[in-house]
Amino acid sequence: MNYVADTPRLELCRLAGIPIKVDITFALVPLFLLGIVQQSPVAFSVLVAGVFLSVLLHEFGHAIIARLFAVPVSEILVGGFYGYTRMLSAPPSKLANIIILFAGPLTNGLIFLLCWNALGQPDVSLTGRFGPIDPAPWLEGSPWKLQAVWTLGSINLAMLVFNLLPAFPLDGGKIYRDVLSALLPDTAAIRTIALLGVIIGLASAYIGFRISLVMLLIGAQIAIINWSILKAPRDAENN
C-alpha cells in the first residue's frame, strides 16, 4: 500500500539513501503474534523482525521500480502489516504506475516462494494452509526455525493476496483503478473499486470479528476509507 494518514513515527536508518521510518501501528504486529511467545520466544522475536523486513522489502520494491521510472522517493514508512512509499512526483504513465504498484506484492511473493521451498514445496490450500512438509536440512531438529519459516511464509502469502484485492488503499485497488480507467471515466473507475472495497472491508471485518482483532481493525479501516472515497472519488485520483 502507499496511502496512510500521518501517525507518530521514528526514523530508523537510510536504505539506498531513502529514510526508513516505523510508525506506532507496528505495535499491532507483536500483538498479532502474541500467542507464539509461550510456544517459542525466539520464534516470536524472529517473526516480528521478519514481518518488519517483509513490509520493508515490499515498499522497497515499490521504491526501486519507481526510481527506474525516474520517480523520486522521499521516504519509506513501515507500519502494522502495511507500508507507505512516498513518491515526490507521479509516474510518467498509468502503465508505469501499475508496474510500480505490482512490484510490492511481487516481493512478498518471492519471500513466500523462499519459505515454501524451505518447507519442501508443500501443497497450499485455497485458505492458505500448507499441506505435509519436507523441511530443508537446516530446519530439521529446530522447532523454532520451522515455526518461524512456516508462519513467515503464510504471512507473506497473505500479504501477496490481500494487497492485490480490488480495494483502496491496497495496491490492487490502484492497479484495477488504472486498468478500469482505460475503459471507463476516471470517476466511474474509482467508484467501482471503492464499492468493491467497502464490500471487501466489511467482509474482512466480519471474518476478523470471528478470528482476529487485527483483521477486524484492518477490515473496518478499509471499509471506512472506501466509503469515504465512494462519496468523494477525487480523494483517490492522486493516490
pLDDT the model gives residue 14: 93
CB 223 within 8 Å of CB 194:
no
Domain that holds residue 229: 166-239
Q: Are residues 4 and 90 in the same domain?
A: yes
Among 164, 183, 217, identify where a domain stops. Answer: 164
Can you give the pLDDT at residue 2? Answer: 41
181 shares its domain with 68: no
Q: Is 185 helix (H, G, I), strand (E, B) or coil?
A: coil
**Residue 6's pLDDT is what?**
63
pLDDT at 231: 87
Contacts of 194 by beta carbon, 8 Å cutoff, 6+ apart:
168, 226, 227, 229, 230, 233, 236
CA 113, 151, 124, 62: dihedral to nearest 10 degrees? Answer: -40
Same domain, 123 and 188: no
The answer on 227 and 178 residing in a single domain is yes
Are 150 and 187 part of one and the same domain? no
Q: Report residue 172 as a C-alpha cell.
A: 490492487
What's the CA gap between 22 and 177, in Å, rounded? 28
> Could you give the CA distance from residue 3 to residue 1 in angstroms, rounded to a whole number?
6
8: Cβ contacts below 8 Å, ≥ 6 apart: 23, 24
Of 127, 143, 164, the position where a domain reaches its end is: 164
Domain final residue, candidates 123, 148, 164: 164
DSSP assignment string, 106-133: HHHHHHHHHHHHHTT---B-TTS-B-S-
DSSP-based three-state secondary structure for 73: strand
My answer on whether 135 and 42 are in the same domain is: yes
Count structural domains, the chain: 2
Rounded distance between C-alpha atoms, residue 166 and residue 30, angstroms:
28
For residue 84, the model assigns a pLDDT of 92
Task: Give the residue ranges of DSSP H helices in the chain.
Answer: 28-32, 35-39, 41-68, 94-118, 143-163, 171-180, 186-211, 213-231
- Relative orientation angle of helices 41-68 and 94-118, to the nearest 10 degrees: 150
Same domain, 187 and 148: no
Do 57 and 160 lie in one domain? The reply is yes
Low-confidence ranges of the chain (pLDDT < 70): 1-6, 235-239
Are 137 and 209 part of one and the same domain?
A: no
